């Protein structure tokens, strides 16, 4: 029998179409050649590698699922998932950049915007010429976005926005912010150019997680924008939550990449590290850990692939996304911590990836709905009782 691939024990790859495999290989090459050689230093320095944006764009990774008529690649959902997986094998921060641009900024313009807005923004965003950020979370508590304080008041043909957003990925690299605000008619969304007077973005410092990604606070002091910058086709919380469903779907795949990186590194290290006259990989304790990692990665791969097939069939439901986001983030953070342990003291440096992935995954398990939020979504689905 041929040996199985330790990071693909159930041969998920054989279930992919030729196009999906080509997408995976292209992004894997990009991660190996362009991300991995620099990412440890970027994390140490707290620097987002902006210089990668043109190549990310030229590979078609921005808004990859949107139609070609808007300058996008028109790929299916499984391909988007594979993009997230291969990018996060490099670093969660790079995948975050692509998630936010694609699912949280380009998607709402496509799904809720006018034809004019689509044509104005999407081609330039696909080309990486305009970068977006997504402002939903506020300082008083992100899990309950219905309790939003940021307010947009109608003033003639304009809107005047006041308030603040917190923990916003890409905040200080963005040319536009997709801002969710309360209005007299409920929550609405606005495209706010970041050079509008009254808008400020402030980098959040002292982060120990996602250090190769920019995270910011956004502040709105009488920010005046025309009604033509309002996304006309959605009102209410289902607007931002609809974007989150897209992004969370991608995030179910991303941590599989981080976990694969950690298993690979721990496996290689354990085969080389000789203690008590044998490689630690030859001990039962270490094999149990590595076997458990491979088992959990396999289950996560099956979940995400089936989720992707449901998405591409148009039947994916938000609660299914919650289950996979919860499972796969938990899987990956546990594996990253375990891999860090197998590396011993060496595991605490960014010369190896597990500590960086473990720290990054503290954000990934928190943003886009904390683990508890997703558990409660499943609890609501199972019992029919809303416990929020």
Binding site for ligand FAD (CB under 6 A): 100, 134-137, 141-143, 167-169, 210, 215, 363, 366-368, 370, 372-373, 388
| Beta carbon of residue 111, minimum distance to ligand TGC (angstroms, whole number) | 11
* CA dist 335 → 172, 258, 259 (Å): 32, 9, 6
Q: Give the residue with the Cβ less far from ligand TGC, 217 or 347.
A: 217
**Contacts with ligand TGC in 181-240 (CB under 6 A)?**
236-238
**Contacts with ligand TGC in 240-269 (CB under 6 A)?**
241-242, 244-245, 247
**The residue to which tokens 């910011």 are assigned:** 216
Bridge partner list, 278? 275
Helix axes of 36-45 and 354-364: crossing angle, nearest 10 degrees: 70
Which of 225, 216, 204 minimizes the C-alpha distance to 152? 225
Q: Give the residue with the Cβ less far from ligand TGC, 237 or 346.
A: 237
Decide: is 369 part of the binding site for ligand TGC (CB under 6 A).
Answer: yes
**The residue to which tokens 């416990």 are assigned:** 387
| Strand-by-strand arrangement of the 176-181 sheet | 132-135, 176-181, 188-193
**Contacts with ligand TGC in 91-110 (CB under 6 A)?**
96, 99-100
Bridge partner list, 161? 152, 223
Measured distance CA(380)–CA(375) in Å, rounded: 9
| Beta carbon of residue 342, minimum distance to ligand FAD (angstroms, whole number) | 27
Decide: is 169 part of the binding site for ligand TGC (CB under 6 A).
Answer: yes
Interaction partner, residue 168 (ligand TGC, ligand FAD, none; CB < 5-8 Å by kind) = ligand FAD
Burial class (CB in 10 A: 0-12, 13-18, 19+), 314: exposed
Interaction partner, residue 113 (ligand FAD, ligand TGC, none; CB < 5-8 Å by kind) = none
Closest residue (Cβ) to ligand FAD? Answer: 142
Q: Give the residue with the Cβ less far from ligand TGC, 244 or 342.
A: 244
Q: What angle do CA 227, 231, 234 make, to 5 degrees?
A: 125
Among 20, 86, 338, 368, the active-site one is 368
Q: What angle do CA 14, 364, 324 make, to 5 degrees?
A: 45
Q: Give the residue with the Cβ less far from ligand FAD, 28 or 373.
A: 373
Active-site annotation, residues: 368
Using CB under 6 A, list all residues that contact ligand TGC: 96, 99-100, 134, 136-137, 142-146, 169, 236-238, 241-242, 244-245, 247, 318, 367-369, 373, 377, 388
């Amino acid at each position: 029998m041929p040996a199985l691939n330790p990071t693909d024990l159930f041969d998920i790859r054989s279930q992919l179409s030729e196009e999906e495999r080509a997408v995976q290989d292209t992004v894997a090459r990009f991660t190996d050649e362009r991300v991995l050689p620099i990412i440890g230093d970027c994390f140490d320095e707290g620097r987002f590698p902006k210089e990668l944006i043109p190549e990310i764009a030229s590979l078609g990774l921005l808004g990859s699922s949107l139609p070609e008529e808007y300058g996008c690649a028109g790929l299916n959902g499984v391909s988007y998932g594979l993009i997230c997986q291969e990018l996060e094998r490099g670093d969660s921060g790079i995948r975050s950049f692509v998630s936010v641009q694609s699912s949280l900024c380009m998607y709402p313009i496509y799904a809720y915007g006018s034809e004019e807005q689509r044509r104005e923004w999407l081609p330039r965003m696909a080309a990486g010429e305009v970068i977006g950020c997504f402002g939903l979370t506020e300082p008083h508590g992100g899990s309950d976005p219905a309790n939003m304080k940021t307010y947009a008041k109608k003033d003639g043909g304009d809107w005047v926005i006041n308030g603040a957003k917190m923990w916003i990925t890409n905040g200080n690299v963005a040319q536009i912010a997709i801002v969710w605000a309360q209005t007299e008619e409920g929550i609405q969304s606005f495209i706010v150019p970041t050079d509008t007077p009254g808008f400020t973005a402030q980098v959040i410092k002292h982060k120990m997680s996602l250090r190769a990604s920019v995270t910011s606070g956004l502040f709105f002091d009488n920010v005046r924008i025309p009604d033509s910058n309002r996304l006309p086709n959605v009102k209410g919380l289902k607007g931002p939550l609809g974007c989150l469903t897209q992004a969370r779907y991608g995030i179910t795949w991303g941590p599989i990449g981080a976990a694969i990186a950690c298993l690979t590194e721990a496996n290689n290290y354990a085969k080389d590290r000789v203690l008590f006259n044998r490689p630690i990989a030859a001990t039962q304790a270490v094999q149990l850990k590595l076997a458990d990692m491979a088992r959990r990665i396999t289950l996560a791969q099956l979940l995400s692939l089936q989720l992707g097939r449901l998405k591409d069939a148009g039947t994916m439901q938000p609660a299914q996304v919650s289950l996979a986001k919860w499972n796969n983030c938990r899987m990956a953070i546990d594996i990253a911590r375990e891999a860090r342990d197998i590396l011993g003291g060496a595991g605490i440096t960014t010369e190896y990836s597990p500590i960086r992935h473990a720290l990054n995954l503290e954000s990934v398990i928190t943003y886009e709905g904390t683990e508890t939020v997703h558990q409660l979504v499943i609890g609501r689905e199972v019992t029919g009782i809303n416990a929020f």
